[in-house]
Every structure is written in C-alpha cells, then in structure tokens.
Amino acid sequence: MSSTRISHDSVAGLRVGRWPLGPTTRSICYRAGHTLIDTGPPNQWKQVRHFVEEEHEAHGIERVVCTHHHEDHAGNAARIQKLLDVPVYAPESSLERLQEGFAMEWYRRVVWGTPPETEAEPLPEALPLGPGATLQAHAAPGHADDMVCLHVPERRWLFTADLFLAPRIEYLRFDEDVHALAESLHAMAQLPADVLFCGHQGVVETGSAALQEKARYLEALCGQVQRRYYREQQPLPDIQDDLLGREGTLRWLTGGDFSKKNLIAACVRRTDDSDDLPDMISAPTPMR
Ligand SMILES: [Zn+2]
C-alpha cells in the first residue's frame, strides 16, 4: 500500500498502513516544528524511516512524542530514537506498556505489526514547538486510558490522536469507554482550535466544531440506547439492529474487537458498574 503525504501550513504528515480496510487502519505521523508526533505502525517502518530522514534533513527533528501506547502510533518510536538519537516522550501511564509490551489481539499483529520495546520519558505538560509556539498535552481518555491530545494555542492547532476519527462512528473497540470519550470530546472542544490534525483522518478544517458534533452524536446515541434498554426493556441486539444495523466486515476481520455490538453495549455500561456488563458482551481473545 502506498503512503500519502499530508501538508498543512508548516505541518507535514505521512499516512501509512498496509490495508485501507476502514477509517482507522492507516495512521499518520506528523512533523510540527522540530517535533515528530506519533510514529506509525511497526510494519510500515521502511516508509516512515524515509519520511523521518527527509523531515530531519530539512527541519531537524529533536524529539518524538507518542500520544498513546497503541502500536499504530508508538510502533516506530524506538527505531526513530535509535536512528536520530533523540528523546521519546509519552504519557506517564503509557511508559510501562511501551517498555514491557501489552496484550494484543491477533489481527493487530497482522494489520500493524508488533512494536519493539520502547524506552520513553514522561511527557511534560508543555514542550517548545518552535518560535513563539508551545505543544501542550491534555489528557483525553476514552479511546485509550492513556491518550493525550496536543494543543498548540498560538497556532490554534489540536493534534487529536484517535479522539475524532469521524463525526459519527458505528463501531467501538471492546476496551473503549464511550462515556469517557464523549467527556474528552467536550473537554478538547473547549480548547481554541481552528484545525484538527487527526491521527487517521488527516487535517480537519472545521476544528473544535467537529469534536462537538461527535460528542453530541455519541450522547444522543447513548440516550436512545439507554431509554430503549432500561425503560422499554428492548434487548440489546434488537436495539443494535434498529439504530446501527447488522455487523459489517470489520467485526469479522477483528474477531469482534471492533463491533457495533460493543458500541451499543458501551452506551448502557455505566462507569461505576463496569463489572456488571450486559450478557451480550464477551471479550475478544488477546495474545501476548
Ligand atoms: Zn489508538
């Protein structure tokens, strides 16, 4: 699969991925100022290396920042650290997983590859981005518990990692928390941003309004699902059929890690009773 270059203002990006199966299988690493934000999946190292070498020669890369531990974002950080002799920063709660590895479903190893061990340093609240600009980290859990978004207030840019992806989603990963996701979307929408740099979608020119739109969609969906489930006692599979339709290929290709069923069930899963899941839920099998 060929890679795609992205350019907006002084930010450069490279979208890479083996298969364009859905909106999230191909991911983007960005170079802003002297900072590389996310590093692409490990099985795309050849293309990422070429991009990194070119950007380093033209602009000088002084540090790498990973927005969260997932392999399609942090997968080449260790190799870039070795190649350029630069520090890698990641959220504090990502560090152990980057160093020691983490459980991954089989399809992730096929689609993105297995990342090597990565020695990262705790991401400070702010890093210099260039003349008169700073990169400020804000916790944005929901997609992953350790994820941050990176705001550049002086430019009104927001690097959203996997927070946005699309204004409406029909699938959710098993370990995603849709309520935390909606809260993070609202919180990040408060940051002044004219442009989003999404980790998969690329440049989103509607800025923080796009985050609000997705937050409202998720809240409306949760409201509908909860009303039908708790008040009308409708079974979850029927609610799914009515609101999202039947499962598509993504559910089968990922062994159930991405599914419409997960999204519907997450809507009724309350953060204070996560052990008491509706019986339609069973976890996909992770492997180490
Ligand atoms: Zn992710």
Domain-ending residue, one of 56, 91, 124: 124
- Answer for the pair 27, 16: CB distance below 8 angstroms, yes or no: yes
Q: Is the pLDDT of residue 51 over 90?
A: yes
- Answer for the pair 183, 170: CB distance below 8 angstroms, yes or no: no
Q: Cα of 140 to ligand 1 centre, how many Å?
A: 12
By the CB criterion, residues less than 5 angstroms from ion ligand 1 are: 70, 162
Mean pLDDT for the chain? 92
* pLDDT bucket at 273, cuts 50 / 70 / 90: low
223-254 confidence digits (pLDDT tens): 999 999 999 999 999 999 999 999 998 899 89
Angle at which helices 208-226 and 236-243 cross, to 10°: 140
Q: Cα of 72 to ligand 1 centre, how many Å?
A: 7
* Angle (nearest 5°) at CA 182 between 136 and 27: 60
Q: Cα of 232 to ligand 1 centre, how many Å?
A: 35
- The total of structural domains in the chain comes to 2
- Answer for the pair 91, 123: CB distance below 8 angstroms, yes or no: yes
Residue listed under structure tokens 């430019």: 155
Q: Cα of 82 to ligand 1 centre, how many Å?
A: 23
Residue listed under structure tokens 């890698």: 88
Cα separation, 145 vs 98, whole angstroms: 14
Q: Cα of 231 to ligand 1 centre, how many Å?
A: 34
Expressed as residue numbers, the domain containing 81 is 1-124
Q: Is the pLDDT of residue 130 over 90?
A: no
Residue 284 lies in a domain: no
Q: Cα of 145 to ligand 1 centre, how many Å?
A: 10
Looking at the fold, whether 118 and 138 belong to one and the same domain comes out as no
Cα separation, 281 vs 259, whole angstroms: 11
* pLDDT bucket at 175, cuts 50 / 70 / 90: very high
Token readout for 81 is: 């650290």
Mean pLDDT of 124-143: 96
Q: Which residues make beta-bridge pairs with 115? A: none
Q: Cα of 57 to ligand 1 centre, how many Å?
A: 29
* pLDDT bucket at 20, cuts 50 / 70 / 90: low
Residue 285 lies in a domain: no
Residue 287 lies in a domain: no
